[in-house]
């Protein structure tokens, strides 16, 4: 009987351990970025340009054409990015601090091991982009377009995202911490280990039915209850 009890105890312990792993939310891996020291002395950008170990300090890149360019071990500090054309550009081990601009084109760009700090951007086009080990910290981004993008190990921290579009995007190990999500669109999105519990303000305009794979807090569940009820056609009346 004692042997049987021992086996039962071990089995229960194993069950609890497995359940604990299943219920845990995988944390996003953060980038490890090394900053460069060589200042950029050129003007504008070149399509398919190769920028390695360069610091862009306050450079005006408005209307610059850097389609397909590669930025490796680069830093962009206080740069203007209005209407900059950076489609299919690659940012690897890069830090963008205090960048600002409207209509920056980053469609199908690749960002790996990148930090974006205190950005002030509007209408950024990142549809079809690939973001891996990216941290967006502070600042405000309006109308962020991430449709059909792939995000893996991405952290949004202490920032304001106004009307971000994640339509059709695939999010894996994405964390939203102390940030504001206003009128977010998750239509058609796929989620795996997406942590929304620490969002300061969660406002989902569309796609509440695509939250499978995300984790929310009990208070957020109460706030989203009307949207969940409407999604399945339930009327709530007193």
pLDDT recorded at residue 8: 38
- Considering the chain, what percentage of its residues have pLDDT values greater than 70? 87
pLDDT recorded at residue 13: 44
- DSSP per residue, 58-113: S-B-TT-B-TT-EEES-EEES-B-TT-B-TT-EEEEEEEES-EEES-B-TT-EEEE
* CA distances in angstroms from 60 to 43, 83, 112, 121, 223, listed in the order given: 9, 11, 24, 15, 43
> Please, is 184 exposed, middle or buried when counting C-beta atoms within 10 Å of its C-beta (0-12, 13-18, 19+)?
buried
pLDDT recorded at residue 2: 42
Q: Is 116 helix (H, G, I), strand (E, B) or coil?
A: strand
Of residues 35 and 39, which shows the higher confidence score? Answer: 39
pLDDT digits (tens, 9 = 90+) for 41-95: 888 899 999 999 999 999 999 999 999 999 999 999 999 999 999 999 999 999 9
Residue 16 pLDDT grade (very low, low, confident, very high; cuts 50, 70, 90) = very low
Q: Is it the case that residue 7 has pLDDT exceeding 50?
A: no
pLDDT recorded at residue 151: 98
Q: What is the mean pLDDT of residues 228-236?
A: 78
Q: Is it the case that residue 9 has pLDDT exceeding 50?
A: no
Q: What is the mean pLDDT of residues 97-102?
A: 98
pLDDT recorded at residue 98: 98
What integer best gives the mean pLDDT of the chain?
88
- Considering the chain, what percentage of its residues have pLDDT values greater than 90? 74
């Amino acid at each position: 009987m004692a042997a049987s009890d021992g086996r039962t105890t071990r089995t229960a312990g194993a069950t609890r351990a497995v359940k604990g792993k299943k219920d845990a939310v995988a944390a996003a891996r953060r980038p490890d970025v090394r900053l460069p020291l060589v200042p950029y002395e050129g003007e504008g950008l070149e399509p398919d340009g190769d920028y390695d170990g360069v610091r862009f300090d306050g450079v005006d890149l408005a209307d610059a054409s850097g389609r397909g360019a590669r930025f490796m071990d680069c830093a962009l500090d206080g740069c203007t990015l209005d209407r900059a054309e950076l489609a299919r550009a690659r940012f690897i081990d890069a830090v963008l601090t205090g960048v600002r601009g409207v209509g920056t084109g980053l469609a199908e760009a690749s960002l790996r091991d990148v930090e974006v700090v205190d950005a002030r951007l509007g209408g950024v086009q990142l549809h079809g982009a690939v973001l891996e080990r990216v941290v967006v910290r502070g600042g405000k981004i309006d109308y962020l377009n991430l449709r059909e993008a792939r995000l893996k190990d991405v952290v949004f921290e202490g920032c304001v995202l106004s009307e971000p579009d994640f339509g059709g995007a695939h999010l894996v190990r994405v964390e939203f911490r102390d940030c504001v999500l206003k009128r977010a669109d998750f239509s058609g999105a796929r989620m795996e280990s997406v942590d929304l519990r620490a969002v300061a303000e969660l406002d989902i305009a569309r796609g509440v039915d695509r939250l499978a794979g995300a984790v929310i807090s009990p208070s957020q569940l109460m706030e989203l209850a009307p949207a969940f009820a409407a999604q399945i056609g339930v009327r709530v009346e007193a």
